[in-house]
């Protein structure tokens, strides 16, 4: 198993960030931008496959998992996450990288590209969208339901009462261990049948213990972020990965991104939910390897 080295760095505003480094090899550096449903542990299969040929970096979003709370008040915006990404690259002395984003990480990747395109070799965008995710989440189910315009207000209300949920977190963690939550999520179609159960339970336990006010602040800041105008100007090789059963970031968003980004290609995964990297790792890894070879000129050695 490839070891993951965790350390701490200070962001530009003094926030203490948990950063991760693993792997080595001749290939381009891969920077992983997480979703809100997991940290570096969610990438374990990816790291095992790519860490023998690439140096891999990642970090925990401010206020979440092993990173400290925002040192300058309550700045959990996507722009703040981008500043943190830049700090991680600078700390490790990386001038250029392939950015790989999952879910929220897709919007972080786009925003980083807007400001520092010269540091980006290519983009891999997994189960994400370009902005305003509340406007499209659950679209296959809700359609044009009258509740959709009120989702942002509902999310802000949940943020205001998030502190009340903290005493319930140990209960939530125990519930995650029972797999009852996983069975429920499968029943309503939020995750697929091929999902790695052990990995998902590990991630669910971690999410259950997050600081909910910071989590909701991050989620609501994400809900207001949009890079739609940027898409036609993304001129780096781009691979978009999406599951056709993803209810959080529907595949229609991925198809729109693929149509609007000049150098984009799209991998649609039949039966894939929002957790395709944990449902179809082999399929995704093979496609990413091909992307690195055909679009960025890196081919793995036979050994």
Q: Can you give the pLDDT at residue 186?
A: 76
pTM of this prediction?
A: 0.90
Q: Can you give the pLDDT at residue 182?
A: 73
H helices of the chain, where? 44-50, 78-91, 104-116, 139-142, 151-160, 169-177, 180-187, 197-208, 212-223, 251-260, 276-279, 281-296
Structure tokens at 7: 């350390």
Backbone angles phi, psi at 131, to 5 degrees: 160, 165
Q: Can you give the pLDDT at residue 107?
A: 98
Mean pLDDT in consecutive groups of 10 residues from the start of the chain, 303 residues: 97 97 97 94 96 98 96 93 98 98 98 98 97 80 55 59 63 68 71 81 82 90 95 98 94 97 97 93 97 95 62
Structure tokens at 272: 């894939």
Q: Can you give the pLDDT at residue 143?
A: 55
Q: Can you give the pLDDT at residue 171?
A: 60
Return the bridge partners of 242, or none: 268
CA dihedral for 167, 14, 218, 161, sign (positive or negative): positive
Q: Which domains does the chain have, with CATH numbers?
A: 4-296 (3.40.50.1820)
Q: Using DSSP, state whether 295 is helix, strand or coil.
A: helix
């Amino acid at each position: 198993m490839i070891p993951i080295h965790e350390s701490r760095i200070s962001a530009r505003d003094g926030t203490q960030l948990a950063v991760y480094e693993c792997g080595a090899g001749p290939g381009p550096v891969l920077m992983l931008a997480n979703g809100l449903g997991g940290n570096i542990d969610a990438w374990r299969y990816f790291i095992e496959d790519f860490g023998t040929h690439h140096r891999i970096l990642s970090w925990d979003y401010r206020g979440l998992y092993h990173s400290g709370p925002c040192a300058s008040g309550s700045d959990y915006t996507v722009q703040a996450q981008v500043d943190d990404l830049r700090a991680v690259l600078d700390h490790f002395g990386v001038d250029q990288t392939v950015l790989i984003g999952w879910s929220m990480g897709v919007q972080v990747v786009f925003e980083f590209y807007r400001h520092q395109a010269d540091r980006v070799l290519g983009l891999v965008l997994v189960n994400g969208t370009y902005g305003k995710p509340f406007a499209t989440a659950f679209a296959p189910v809700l359609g044009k339901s009258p509740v959709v315009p009120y989702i942002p207000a509902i999310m802000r209300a949940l943020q205001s009462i998030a502190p009340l949920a903290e005493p319930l977190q140990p209960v939530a963690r125990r519930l995650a261990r029972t797999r009852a939550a996983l069975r429920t999520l499968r029943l309503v179609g939020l995750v697929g049948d091929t999902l790695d159960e052990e990995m998902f339970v590990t991630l669910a336990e971690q999410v259950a213990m997050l600081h909910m006010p910071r989590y909701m602040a991050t989620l609501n800041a994400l809900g207001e972020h949009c890079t739609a105008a940027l898409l036609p100007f993304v001129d780096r090789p781009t691979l978009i990965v999406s599951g056709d059963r993803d209810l959080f970031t529907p595949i229609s968003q991925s198809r729109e991104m693929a149509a609007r980004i000049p150098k984009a290609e799209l991998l649609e995964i039949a039966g894939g939910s929002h957790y395709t990297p944990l449902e179809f790792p082999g399929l995704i890894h093979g496609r990413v390897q091909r992307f690195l070879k055909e679009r960025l000129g890196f081919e793995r050695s036979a050994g």
